[in-house]
């Protein structure tokens, strides 16, 4: 199995359409998505444009809108912000989640032509590695979405390192990856206490490796992508 990495916010070539692509967003999009599925959501539609997301939410059955803009502020028109700890208290059984976020969703849309596409975060990393292995992947590209001008993205790089170690059957110390999430530029914002829409409860949840026993494959359905 061969591995490569792409940083979403750098100018780089896309992997070939035959590749397996894993789009990583630990803080917080794909931790939020994992919580939604664990809470019984029927499917998640990742939509990059907020206006399009609002329109889609008006067209699907049992919709719930989830998302954030900028530095993590919730979208005013949405039911929930991009907060996994908040979703832990929500009744999502049978709901169709329409999600719009700044990084993770954009990454999925950019690489929508991949042969196998996954949304990933630390909470479902081992299950993701098992799904990739079971699918017989030969080339795996990890997409790091969290690196920005003011963020090192190490929360996502740590998740990629963990996934690659699992796929190489290397011994791993899970605690070190969780600590890197906390110590990342973005992780420290959750502990600073000065960002009201970045609660520490979200960080503590996002740091927990392998608490969900499922991967999050992403399929194409016409013009839409679906995480289920």
From its phi and psi, is residue 93 left (phi > 0), alpha (psi between -120 and 50) or beta? beta
Query: Rounded to 10 degrees, what is the CA torsion of 19, 11, 32, 36?
Result: -40
Residue count of the chain: 228
SS3 content of the chain, % helix, strand, coil (to 5): 35, 25, 40
Q: Which residues contact 212 (CB under 8 A, 6 or more apart)?
A: 34, 37, 38, 123, 124, 127
Q: What is the pLDDT of residue 98?
A: 98
- pTM for this prediction: 0.96
Tell me the domain boundaries of the chain.
Answer: 2-227
Return the CATH fold of 2-227: putative 2-phosphosulfolactate phosphatase (3.90.1560)
Q: Encode the chain (228 residues) as per-residue pLDDT tens digits.
A: 999 999 998 867 778 777 999 999 999 999 999 999 999 999 999 999 999 999 999 999 999 999 998 778 889 899 999 999 999 999 999 999 999 998 999 999 999 999 999 999 999 999 999 999 999 999 999 999 999 888 899 999 999 999 999 999 999 999 999 999 999 999 999 999 888 899 999 999 999 999 999 999 999 999 999 998
CA separation for the pair 119, 36 (Å, rounded): 13
pLDDT of the residue at 181:
98
Distance CA 76, CA 68 (A): 9
Alpha helices (H) along the chain: 29-38, 50-57, 84-87, 104-110, 125-134, 154-167, 174-183, 185-192, 200-206
pLDDT at 69: 85
The encoded tokens of residue 186 equal 């973005």
- CA–CA gap between residue 42 and residue 94 (Å, rounded): 5
Name, in order, each residue with C-beta under 8 angstroms of 72's C-beta and a sequence gap of 6 or more: 28, 81, 82, 195, 197, 198
What is the model's pLDDT at position 72? 80
């Amino acid at each position: 199995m061969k591995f490569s990495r792409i940083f979403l916010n750098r100018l780089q070539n896309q992997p070939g359409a035959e590749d397996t692509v894993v789009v990583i967003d630990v803080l917080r999009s794909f931790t939020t998505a994992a919580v939604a599925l664990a809470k019984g959501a029927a499917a998640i539609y990742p939509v990059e444009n907020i206006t399009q997301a609002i329109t889609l939410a008006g067209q699907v059955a049992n919709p719930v809108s989830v998302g954030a803009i900028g530095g993590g502020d919730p979208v005013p028109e949405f039911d929930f912000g991009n907060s996994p700890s908040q979703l832990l208290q929500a009744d999502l059984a049978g709901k169709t989640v329409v999600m719009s976020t700044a990084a993770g969703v954009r990454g999925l849309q950019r690489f929508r032509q991949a042969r196998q596409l996954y949304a990933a975060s630390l909470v479902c990393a081992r299950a993701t590695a098992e799904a990739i292995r079971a699918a017989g992947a030969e080339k795996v590209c990890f997409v790091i979405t969290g690196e920005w001008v003011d963020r090192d993205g190490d929360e996502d790089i740590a998740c990629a390192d963990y996934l690659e170690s699992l796929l190489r059957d290397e011994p791993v110390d899970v605690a070190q990856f969780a600590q890197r999430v906390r110590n990342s530029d973005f992780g420290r914002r959750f502990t600073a206490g000065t960002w009201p829409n970045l609660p520490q409860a979200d960080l503590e949840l996002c740091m927990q490796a392998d608490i969900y026993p499922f991967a999050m494959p992403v399929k194409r359905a016409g013009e839409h992508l679906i995480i289920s």
